Homo-oligomer: A and B are copies of this chain.
Amino acid sequence: MVELHLLSPRGFRAGGVYAGIKSRRTPDVALLVCDRPASAAAAFTTSRVQSPAVTVGREHIASGKLRGVVVNAGNANACTGKQGLRDARRMCAIAAETIQCDPREMLPSSTGIIGHLLPMEKIERGILETSESLGSSLEHAQLFGDAILTTDTKRKIAGVRVKIGRDQVTLAGVCKGSGMIGPRLGVAMSGAKAPGSRGFARASGAAALDAGARGSARAAGAISKHSDASSLRGKHATMLAYLTTDASIAPALLRKLLQQIVDVSFNTVTVDDHASTNDTCAILASGAAGVKIASPADVKKFSAALAEVAQSLAYQIAADGEGATKVVAITVRGAATTDAARAIARSIANSNLVKCAMNGNDPNWGRIVSAAGYAGAPFDPDRCTLKLQKTLVFRGGTPVAFDANRVSKSLDAKEVTVELDCRSGSAEATVWTCDLSKEYVTINADYHT
């Protein structure tokens, strides 16, 4: 079986080179190019502090068309004022020139340290060099995947194929993220250039997706070891994700689907709940497969496949969280609303006490139940049940006798499941996080700007 990657969908080329921005010699400038104008959508951080790359990205995605993406790692181009804005536009202009398109057809991304101007000479040389070595092979996808990493220890890729009628379309993606991970992505609307104020409190139609596509998160993904990121300890990380497909789909529909998808994938992963200035998720649909996604049945299939890719990528971010020794998958069921389920799951996921207990394999259910209590959502401890790694530990407001040693041993795993059933409704949500280890403190304290 062929491993699917960013360039498995037809119509795309990519590459990455080392341009001298990262301190360690590993690719740090990358290009993803579509052979024709792709239908595109993008979701950006809803933080009030946004990188000029995000500002320019919002402008350029407004048309619903992109020819490509230009990325650098090692420098976030954030809090860099007007020069930062000029530099983000210049990145697009340089990249556009190499493929003979309009600069507004390029989406720029940057990740790395905040508050430093981009080294534009290096960036320019890097873009030109990358443009001369674009290709569609696995190696090209890996170069792109490596070039966007900062504190990540692993490359993150995913892909699936889905039958649409008698035809087949491919969906794939690549992402980065390890620390400064608490994305609050909102899809940029057509013509809208200003950041929206939307957060999580959205009643979207994504609950079905949430329930359906979960569990396949790991199946779709392949995590490859990336050994060169150790020198980037403590550098500001960000979540960047790029999704590709060779299906044909209208930009308006793509935007709608993207918000649903990010709400059940990247918006449900948290390492330290610190939304970045640069968080970005973009999708490009080349149409090269000649398959139009429009009928409700096709949209449903396409959407489920896209969720599978995005959830796999989000899961890989949690698994590679700074200092993480395990993924903690928190599922809240039986909540009154999807928003309530998400709020409760997120409250548990972001509790340092819960995260430390997970690090120490401590079946400390009191921390979990109490974290549910202050989520700001309806929650009645006297009705709920709580399971750790499938073992019931709390029911109806009182503890359940369990073998603490056995449960502790079961927590010593690559993935720990926390399942809270509120028994107050039918909504559910899953949030992925990781444990909090001394290594997280080492990475983020023992480093100086």
- Which residues of A are at the interface with B, using a C-beta cutoff of 8 A? 45-50, 76, 78-81, 113-116, 179-180, 182, 184, 199, 234, 236, 272-277, 350-353, 356-357, 359-367, 369-376, 378-382, 394, 396-399, 404, 408, 435-438, 440-449
Q: How far is the CA of A371 from the CA of B277 in the complex (A)?
A: 9
> A179 contacts which of B80, B353, B408, B443 (Cβ < 8 Å)?
B353
**Closest chain B CB from A437 CB (angstroms):** 6
Residues in chain B near residue A381, CB distance under 8 A: 48-49, 79
Q: Which residue of B lies closest to A378 (CB)?
A: B48
Q: Which residue of B lies closest to A445 (CB)?
A: B360
> A448 contacts which of B360, B372, B398, B449 (Cβ < 8 Å)?
B360
Q: How far is the CA of A356 from the CA of B436 in the complex (A)?
A: 12
**Closest chain B CB from A237 CB (angstroms):** 9
> A447 contacts which of B362, B365, B378 (Cβ < 8 Å)?
B362
Let me know if B442 and A366 touch, CB within 8 A.
no
Residues in chain B near residue A179, CB distance under 8 A: 353
**Closest chain B CB from A387 CB (angstroms):** 15
One complex includes copies of this chain to the number of: 2
Let me know if A356 and B441 touch, CB within 8 A.
yes
Can you sample 16 A-B contacts with CB below 8 Å?
A48-B373, A48-B378, A49-B379, A78-B370, A79-B394, A114-B369, A114-B370, A273-B350, A274-B367, A275-B370, A352-B436, A359-B445, A362-B445, A363-B448, A440-B441, A441-B441
Let me know if A436 and B447 touch, CB within 8 A.
no
**Closest chain B CB from A395 CB (angstroms):** 10
> A444 contacts which of B46, B116, B360 (Cβ < 8 Å)?
B360
- Counting chain B CB atoms within 10 Å of each CB, the highest count among A184, A375, A399 belongs to A399
Q: How far is the CA of A81 from the CA of B115 in the complex (A)?
A: 53
Q: How far is the CA of A369 from the CA of B180 in the complex (A)?
A: 13
Let me know if B113 and A366 touch, CB within 8 A.
yes
Let me know if B357 and A445 touch, CB within 8 A.
yes
**Closest chain B CB from A24 CB (angstroms):** 20
**Closest chain B CB from A359 CB (angstroms):** 4
List 5 tightest A-B contacts by C-beta distance, closest first.
Answer: A114-B366, A49-B373, A360-B445, A356-B444, A47-B373
Let me know if A356 and B445 touch, CB within 8 A.
yes
> A362 contacts which of B49, B397, B448 (Cβ < 8 Å)?
B448
Residues in chain B near residue A272, CB distance under 8 A: 351-353
Let me know if A115 and B366 touch, CB within 8 A.
yes
Q: How far is the CA of A78 from the CA of B381 in the complex (A)?
A: 11
Known: A179-B353, A356-B441, A374-B182. A398 touches B80 (CB 8 A): yes
Let me know if A369 and B441 touch, CB within 8 A.
no
Let me know if B352 and A274 touch, CB within 8 A.
yes
Residues in chain B near residue A49, CB distance under 8 A: 369-370, 372-374, 379, 381
Q: Which residue of B lies closest to A80 (CB)?
A: B398
Q: How far is the CA of A113 from the CA of B371 in the complex (A)?
A: 15
Let me know if A404 and B370 touch, CB within 8 A.
no
Q: How far is the CA of A236 from the CA of B367 in the complex (A)?
A: 8
Q: Which residue of B lies closest to A115 (CB)?
A: B399
**Closest chain B CB from A242 CB (angstroms):** 22
Residues in chain B near residue A357, CB distance under 8 A: 444-445
